[in-house]
Amino acid sequence: MSATLAVRRAAARRHRIVVSTVIVFAVVAVVVAVSVGDYPIAPDRLWATLTGSGTRIEQYVVFQVRAPRAAMALVVGAALGAAGALLQSFLGNPLASPDLLGISGGSGLAAVTAILVLGTTGPLLAVFAFAGGAAVAVLLALAGRSLRDGGFRLILAGIGVSFLTAALINLLMVRAKVEEARLALLWLTGSLSSTPWWQVVVVVIVIIALLPALVVASRWLPLVQLGRESAHGLGVASAPVRLVVVTSAVLLTAVTCAFVGPISFIALCAPAIARGLLRHGAVGVGTSAALGAVLLSAADLVAQYAIPGVSMPVGVVTGAVGALFLLWLLATSKGRQL
């Protein structure tokens, strides 16, 4: 008993250290994001601006231009990290993420259809994005009803849906007018530029509304990972867990896709990094969310300032880094988890 207690205490201590370190990195990323740029703000002037003593231009740059973008990077990264952790934990597969399973593709297809065919913009776009992601989630749930094959059928179905949605999006882009296609392409790449506060508020509201479901899922998922029979013996049925996990992942993915586009690989990388840092095999939803926030914030800084005079969409950076991470994951897993 004492040995088990010691292991638990060590795991809890490591968890606190990891979370504290990630929070520090997040604060540093936010401070850098609101300080650097074409109009640099020194630390003392930043503090004066935050306390209400800054000039009008400093207040405008910080609160209206940079702070919304930095806040959106945090909340979107957290949402994607949590969504990836939910799916990877439930399916027991490190490739289970909204972008690779086609949920982001379904949201993207619905949103691009709304933009190019219906001329939809603004808050209504979130409705179309959620409907597309939910439709894909239903298809995946039907494809992997039993999950007795470790989720392989669901993973393959998701990859097929991803290719299908990409083909349909390309068809719509080819047939669209140049200006409309340019707008849709920027959205598809994933960008945090020109982010207003109301979009940040909407994403925060969705995350807060889903917090009870995320807490419940975090408690159920370790039992579900033991297997259907073991979980059922402990009083946890897989069907309610599936409903909570899939619904939460779809909501988190759809609301982020609606406002910033389908930013790739954050949902894949954050849980994998969290698993490596925690070192106990399980995927911490909260830790993955915090890491997702830091990863997207750092990627946005790279997108803005890595090349002087060139500001790239953040999706370009996450796609490039995420692709390398996926290759590393595939090379090092040696088929044990895949």
Q: What backbone torsions phi and psi does residue 251 show, to the nearest 5 degrees?
A: -60, -45
pLDDT band at 68 (very low <50, low <70, confident <90, very high): very high
Contact 326, 57 (CB under 8 A): no
Q: Using one digit for the tens of pLDDT, what is the confidence trace for 288-320?
A: 899 999 999 999 999 888 888 778 888 888 888
Q: Using one digit for the tens of pLDDT, what is the confidence trace for 253-276?
A: 888 887 888 888 898 888 888 887
Q: Using one digit for the tens of pLDDT, what is the confidence trace for 167-220?
A: 988 888 888 777 777 777 777 877 888 788 888 998 899 899 988 888 887 777
Q: CA–CA separation, 134 vs 93, rounded Å?
A: 21
Tell if the pTM clears 0.85, that is, is over it.
yes
Output helix, strand, coil percentages for the chain, rounded to the nearest 5: 75, 0, 25
Those residues whose C-beta lies under 8 Å from the C-beta of residue 164, and which sit 6 or more positions away, are 102, 105
Q: What backbone torsions phi and psi does residue 98 show, to the nearest 5 degrees?
A: -60, -35
Q: What is the structure's pLDDT at 294?
A: 93
Q: CA–CA separation, 57 vs 31, rounded Å?
A: 18
Q: What is the structure's pLDDT at 2?
A: 63
Mean pLDDT of 273-291: 79
Q: To 5 degrees, how large is the angle CA 90–CA 241–CA 19?
A: 55
Q: CA–CA separation, 255 vs 232, rounded Å?
A: 33
Decide which of 202 and 14 is more confident.
Answer: 202
Q: What is the structure's pLDDT at 146?
A: 52
Q: What is the structure's pLDDT at 70?
A: 93
